[in-house]
Structure 1
Amino acid sequence: MANTTGSWLREPIRDDVVDLWRLHEVHCTADTDFQRVLIADTHLGVTLFCDDNPQSAENGQLIFHEAEFTPAALLAEQLRSVLVIGCSEGTVPLIATELGVEHVDHVDIDPECVRLCTDHLPYGYTPEDLKRAEHGEGAVRLHYADGADFVSEALRRGDRYDVIVLDLPEEDEDQDAGHNAMYGQGFFTTYRQLLNPGGVLSTHVSRPHLSFPTAETAESLRRPWQQLGNTFGTRVFFRSTEHPWAAIMLATPAEVDEPVRLMRERLPQLARAPRTIDDAELRGATYLPLALR
């Protein structure tokens, strides 16, 4: 299907279900070295698609990106250094700096996608933000690199982080998808080694079970939850009540008694109050779904 104004984009959800997105004005299309990028107006405003999969949209993106970072920031013992893998839009690194993080390593494999997002999305990096990040002139340092390679090198150097955010495309059923490895048990062990004591890993889960919860799709939710349990002392589930994409799993090596209570106590202490998360949301969004109980 040609990605042209007035056309429909077909997004596979599972073998027997697809979503159709009506495209209004198309801002750009590009086949980069890594993926097919489309930025277009939809009913959710300006929307980023990578390989026909929606990554973020103007109306709702803040809910998703705050959910990726803010609960992790509340669970972490300190908040000085952050690693973000993915997030071509640059939104999570910017949220981290608003909360006073001193050093953010932002790793993305696709420089063309990052620059297209900067040029066409009304959120995330501005051209000035991107220039500073590319030159390391501020808290954010942008690295155009394979996330797995960067993680291995960071571990070799002895780098440590207070929060690690995986903002990658969702785990793919295609076993050859390169980013799948970063959701594997071995990498969860590596992430734990990269964390400072009291540090937190934040990763999101796949949409199929969130949109169409059935017995067979529940495995996509249970598998990462079990893998995190095999590696970390404490896990927290966070499903935004406002956004279907914002289902986050948090993990920390420490064994924390009543982690949600601790997060709620720390919420008023944040350098900037989140715009989409309050005390009531923390209580409701962290309730463990039946598939994981």
Structure 2
Amino acid sequence: MDPTPVPPAPLPVGRHVLAELTDVDAAVLDDVAALRGALHDALGAAGAQVRQIVAEAFAPQGATVVALLAESHASVHTWPEYATAHVDVFTCGDAADPELAVRLLAAALGASVRRLDVIERGGPAAAVTEPISPGLTRRWALGTVHHRATTPYQRVLIADTAHGVTLFCDDERQSAEATQLVYHEALFAPAALLAARCERVLVIGSSEGVVSEMAVAAGATRVDHVDIDPDCVRACAEHLPYGYTPGRLAAAERHEGPVHVHYGDGREFVERAAGRYDVIVVDLPDERPDEPEAQLNRLYAADFLAGCAQRLTEGGVVVCQAGSPALWRDATLRAAWRRFHDVFGPGGVVYAGSDEHEWAFLVGCPAAPADPVTTMVARLATLPVPPATIDAAWLRTRTVPPATLRRGFASAARHDDAGDGRHGRSAMSTPRRSRSR
């Protein structure tokens, strides 16, 4: 009888953190003794067991410090002339926290963390469990992990999935190679077709840079792209096969060419904007009503939407990612539908539903054409680069809002007319209190 098969031993599991530290005083980066002490203390405070440290100073400047750990290793390489240090910490098991060690080291050196990548090593095949709605999740099996990092704003992961290279933020899929064109064209094309012009465009969010490039292809001569998370934008440019490339992003960061990238809060940018825009695109992860203090909720508030409307040129439009029309997860969409009608009125809102149930978009038009769909169909052939996934039939069918939205609005309008005698204005037109901080 054959002996009982012996299961393979589990692979060692560890985390490897790679970081770039900047804004460090040159004297600190040349002080080998201080570097040894700072690395030793940071590793110990993060739970690692330091066995020995070796260091060497180089002429005319710079140093390398390497720590041998019971859990694996850590190293620091410095470039005083650039005020920069590169750090890596690899630990196996759960006793030590390599990311904490890097952040403690950065604090000890007075450094800024320009970039921080976390690579999972060993263990079973990786996966992401994405929350969809209460009681429902979706599990993404991961292939090659191209980038994993925790920024000051979110956890960012870029990895291969069944949908190609995929971007996750805080475990929520933001875009994927197989579907990103369907998403971005449904977001941008209807707005571009409804706007009287498409010369000046403001994009808030949309880290991948696809919308910025679509705007330029549509004839925009100036695109201001505002995103709060530079680490995420740069990771997208480096690792996603769509949107910005590293070279195009670097030029946009230098404000060379039609696209100008600004890192900061979108709400503050709109409040201080001096110019006006033909199209304003707000492309964010879903609103988080269960997290009232989440920063992105401020960019879903009615007063922010009204502020965007005030920054439009004559004939300009605002378009927002508004959630999913699926019945079991449409609360975000219904809330956005009400807000858009509060700001733009019943005749000033155009619905655009994606070919997948995941996404829907709302376009606010202060000066809406009498027949928005006919206007979009007529203008479709005038776009310099026609959309690949949108045609006249799409515009006629995908701009019909779901019955839950149409019936809800009609019901509220009837109730308002019966209740106080006002005609042509629904109860939802009453300004709503903003939930912004």
TM-score by length of 2: 0.63
Long gaps (5+) in structure 2: 1-14, 16-118, 407-437
Corresponding residue number in structure 1 for 2:214 = 95
Task: Name 1:172's counterpart in structure 2.
Answer: 288
Per-residue deviation, residues 68-117 of structure 1 (Å, max 9, x unmatched): 11100000011110000011111000011011101000001111111111
Deviation at 1:33, TM superposition (A): 1.1
Stretch moving more, 67-76 or 231-240: 231-240
Q: Distance in 1 between matches of 2:203 and 2:368?
A: 24
Does the CA-based 8 Å contact 2:191-2:279 persist in structure 1?
A: yes
Structure 1 contact 89–114 (Cα < 8 Å) conserved = yes
**1:281 maps to which residue?**
394
**Alpha-carbon distance between aligned partners in 2 of 1:245 and 1:94, rounded to the nearest angstrom:** 23
Q: What secondary structure is seen at the aligned counterpart in 1 of 2:267?
A: helix
Distance, in Å, in 2 between the alignment partners of 1:245 and 1:83 is 24
Match of 1:73 among 192, 196, 214: 192
Residues 68, 246 of structure 1: 8 Å contact kept? no
State how far apart, in whole Å, the 2-side matches of 1:75 and 1:275 are.
18
Deviations 1:48-83 (A, max 9, x none): 000101110000101111111110000001111000
The verdict on how the C-alpha distance between 1:99 and 1:255 changes in structure 2, with shifts beyond 3 A counting, is closer
1:54 equivalent in structure 2 = 173
Task: Give 1:193's match in structure 2, choosing from 272, 290, 310.
Answer: 310
Q: Distance in 1 between matches of 2:330 and 2:226?
A: 30
Q: Quick check: 1:90–1:125 contact (8 Å CA) kept in 2?
A: yes
**Alignment root-mean-square deviation, CA:** 1.4
Distance 2:271 2:257 in 1: 24
Q: Which residue of 2 aligns with 1:132?
A: 251
TM-aligned CA distance change 1:218 to 1:169, over 3 Å: closer
Give, in angstroms, the shift of residue 244 of structure 1.
3.1
Distance 1:291 1:152 in 2: 34
Deviation at 1:254, TM superposition (A): 1.2
What residue in structure 2 maps to residue 226 of structure 1?
Answer: 338
Deviation at 1:28, TM superposition (A): 1.1
SS in 1 for 2:381: helix
Query: Residues 240 and 281 of structure 1 are in contact (CA less than 8 Å); yes or no, is this contact kept in structure 2?
Result: no
Q: Which of structures 1 and 2 has the larger relative contact order (alpha carbons within 8 angstroms, sep 6+)?
A: 1
Q: Which amino acid aligns with 2:257?
A: G
Under a length normalisation based on structure 1, what TM-score does the superposition of the two structures give?
0.93
CA distance in 1, matches of 2:192, 2:402: 22
How far apart, CA to CA, are the structure 2 residues paired with 1:286 and 1:181? 27
Letter in 1 for 2:211: V
| Percentage of identical aligned residues | 46
Larger Rg computed on CA atoms: 2
Letter in 2 for 1:12: P
